[in-house]
Amino acid sequence: MFFRKLALTLAVTTALSASALACTTVVVGEGATADGSFLVARAADSSALKAQHFVIHPAKKNQSGMYRTKDHDGATNFEYPLPKESMRYTTVPNWKTQLHGAVGFNEAGVGISGTESIFARDDALKLDPYNEETGITEDDIHDVVLPRAKTAREGIEILGSIVETIGAGEGFGVVFVDQKEVWYFETGTGHQWMAHRTPKDTYFASGNQGRLQQYDAKSADFMASKTLVSWAEKNGFYDPKKDGEFNFSKAYCRDDARDRVYNDPRVWQIQKLFNPSLEQKPDEGRTYPVYLKPEKKLTVDDMKTMLRNHYEGTDHDPYSPVLNGNEPWRPISVFRTYESHVMHVRPWLPKEIGEVAYVGIGMADLSCYVPYYHGLESYPAHYGMGTDKADSKSIYWKYRKLQTLVMTDYQKLAPVVKAAYKTFEADTAKAQADMEKKYMEVVKKDPKAASKLLNEFNLKVMNDAEALTEDLTNQVFTIRTTDIQAANFFANNKRKD
């Protein structure tokens, strides 16, 4: 198949830093979805041992002092004043630090998904390096922005100001969404950044690359650092006479052999899924459109399918017919994904049911996407448990242990798990529609009763998904026990014992 000839570039990928391992992101404008909603999907990939916790941060009043990353053993010495009045917000953070919140909404309805690890060009970073000592990183963004941002634009302004004044501790892309619009934010160098409102009828896809290009300082659909263009021009990364219109990606972002097998194929695959008639070469990522109008309107299920993709049906599938850790194309769904999610924002509904995060714990291909509504008031205690060592209580390890067992014979066991979760998700979607209809009928007369209805439903779905996962684990153990016994029976000739 085309691209096998590039297998030699695998040697380049060994030079990737640890942060380069992470994430795939898709953002969908409201005109490109089947129901007129906003959709955001992202897979967070680092380590299978990175247990995630579900946290609801309560609103706080009369705060003073500083938010300090090091207080939580975070990545840098970043610090920032606490807001006097902090809004309630949700995150799904790392077990060890309770930072890097991954996905969440605040009480104003602002949602953030972050981050997508991206990389500036090396020569530009020599002049404006990341502030690895005190700069902001993915550890901090949710806990700094969500307590205070009342709109997506305000969230971008807050993060952008921090990057300009304190600096970014690493390269990242972040999604901001509210009831009116959805934006994608990318860093350039240590103090340069750009954000673009996703055009209504299009979607955007990224796989560890700076992907934004066009910038129009006069348009309300763009935001950026004050010296974005002038800095690039001053330092020789943009020449208006030779280059024509300013191109953010070309001026600031890395584009070399490291992108060819690790990043380009994922974006190529996403665009092929949503635009099947599109013909592109899998190793020419910088020529791909930044935004595309999908050939059919997109849904939550389309986002789940995309996050579970691993080039199945092609000879680049690393899981079939046998596990192949040397496959040159890095798939969207990898075993070391610790969580992935789909954010579904329907502005015409009350935020309590109109904003939903579907979270799949662990490897997306072998996980169940469970809905977590904005109006959910609490999580069970074991949703806040789990470390880097397997246990029998935490919700994270209940999913992860099943996935680990399935990977010992993916060909035989994966279909069992995937079929069960597919049925569960379909049944849950129907139950959600019924619940939401009842909620709308009740909330007008009795908001407390509506909230009770929502919370009882959401907790039941969570419990049912967990029970199914435990049942599947037992099913798979039974299958593996039978297979191993058959292969290692050592019976005597008469099978008397």
Q: What is the pLDDT of residue 223?
A: 98
Q: Which whole-number Å values give the CA distances from 216 to 133, 194, 229, in the listed order?
A: 32, 11, 10
SS3 at position 478: helix
Does residue 368 have an active-site annotation? no
pLDDT tens for each residue of 430-440: 999 999 999 99
Using DSSP's 3-state secondary structure scheme, residue 105 falls into strand
Task: Tell me the β-bridge partners of 247.
Answer: 214
Question: Model-level pTM?
Answer: 0.95
Could you tell me the residue ranges of all domains in the chain? 24-383, 395-488
- Check 3, 9, 22, 23 and give the catalytic one: 23
CB-based contact 182:175 (threshold 8 Å): yes
Q: Which two tokens stand for residue 458?
A: 């959401």
Q: 236 — alpha (psi -120 to 50), left (phi > 0) or beta?
A: left
Supply the DSSP string of 10-38, one letter for each residue.
Answer: HHHHTT--GGGG--EEEEE-GGGBTTS-E
305's torsion region: left (phi>0), alpha (psi -120 to 50) or beta? Answer: alpha
d(CA 271, CA 202): 11
Amino acid 21: pLDDT: 58
Q: How far is CA 459 from its chain centroid?
A: 23
CA atoms within 13 A on the CB side of 197: 18
CB 310 within 8 A of CB 333: yes
With bands split at pLDDT 50, 70 and 90, how would you rate the model's confidence at 491?
Answer: confident
The pLDDT tens digits of the residues spanning 334-365 come to 999 999 999 999 999 999 999 999 999 999 99
Q: Could you read off the pLDDT of 95-144 as tens digits, one per residue?
A: 999 999 999 999 999 999 999 999 999 999 999 999 999 999 999 999 99
CATH superfamily of 24-383: Penicillin V Acylase; Chain A (3.60.60.10)
pLDDT in tens, 11-29: 333 333 334 457 999 999 9
Strand order in the sheet with 355-361: 291-292, 203-206, 24-28, 38-45, 337-345, 355-361, 370-373
Classify strands 193-197 and 222-224 as parallel, antiparallel or unpaired: antiparallel
Q: What is the pLDDT of residues 250-307, one digit of tens each?
A: 999 999 998 999 999 999 999 999 999 999 999 999 899 999 999 999 999 999 999 9
C-alpha 342/C-alpha 224 separation (Å) is 26
Distance between the two ends of the chain, CA-based, in angstroms?
A: 52
Q: How high is the pLDDT of residue 420?
A: 98
Mean pLDDT of the chain: 94
CA atoms within 13 A on the CB side of 367: 32
Burial class (CB in 10 A: 0-12, 13-18, 19+), 349: middle
Task: Give 374-382 contacts, CB < 8 A, sequence gap 24+.
Answer: 374/105, 374/109, 375/350, 375/351, 375/451, 375/454, 375/455, 375/458, 376/56, 376/454, 376/455, 376/458, 376/459, 377/56, 377/451, 377/455, 378/56, 378/455, 379/54, 379/55, 379/56, 380/459, 380/462
Average pLDDT score over residue span 394-399: 98
Residue 3's pLDDT is what? 38
